[in-house]
């Protein structure tokens, strides 16, 4: 059985953003991100690396895990913003029996 999430562990403020589409005056599709919700989370970095993507550009990539209270309304089409870094959501997993939600993320060009 998974241990329940303790309130003191949720010490990071994260913003979940969702994508929306609209059309401008000439009918072009415009995508934008807006705040879906703001949550307290536990942040755990899991992997970081830096590599050369071409002769002049260095690319940084990191993966991490955010643990939040149990949620059913999050999707992989959303993204997470934490400390001014935007992360792509890779996976959303139920922790325990509705004890929490794990959000696995990947950030690029940090």
Residue 23 vs residues 2, 27, 29, 100, 102: alpha-carbon distances, Å = 46, 5, 5, 37, 34
Which residues form the domain of 62?
A: 8-108
pLDDT of residue 62: 75
Residue 103 lies in a domain: yes
Residue 48 has pLDDT above 60, yes or no: yes
Residue 3 lies in a domain: no
How far, in Å, CA of 107 to CA of 84, rounded? 11
Residue 1 has pLDDT above 70, yes or no: no
How far, in Å, CA of 11 to CA of 13, rounded? 7
pLDDT digits over 60-110, tens only? 677 899 999 999 999 999 999 999 899 999 999 998 889 999 999 998 655
* 37 Cβ neighbours under 8 A, 6+ residues apart: 15, 16
Residue 44 has pLDDT above 80, yes or no: yes
Q: What is the pTM of this model?
A: 0.79
Residue 1 lies in a domain: no
Number of structural domains in the chain:
1
Nearest to 106 by CA among 23, 55, 46: 46
């Amino acid at each position: 059985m998974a241990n329940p999430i303790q309130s003191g562990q949720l010490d990071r403020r994260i913003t979940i953003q969702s994508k929306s589409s609209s059309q401008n005056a000439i009918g072009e599709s415009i995508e934008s991100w807006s705040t879906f919700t703001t949550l307290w989370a536990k942040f755990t970095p899991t992997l970081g690396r830096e590599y050369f993507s071409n002769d002049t550009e260095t690319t940084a990539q990191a993966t991490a895990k955010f643990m939040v209270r149990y949620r059913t309304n999050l999707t992989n089409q959303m993204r997470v913003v934490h400390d001014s870094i935007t992360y792509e959501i890779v996976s959303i997993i139920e922790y325990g029996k509705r004890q929490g939600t794990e959000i696995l993320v990947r950030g690029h060009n940090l």
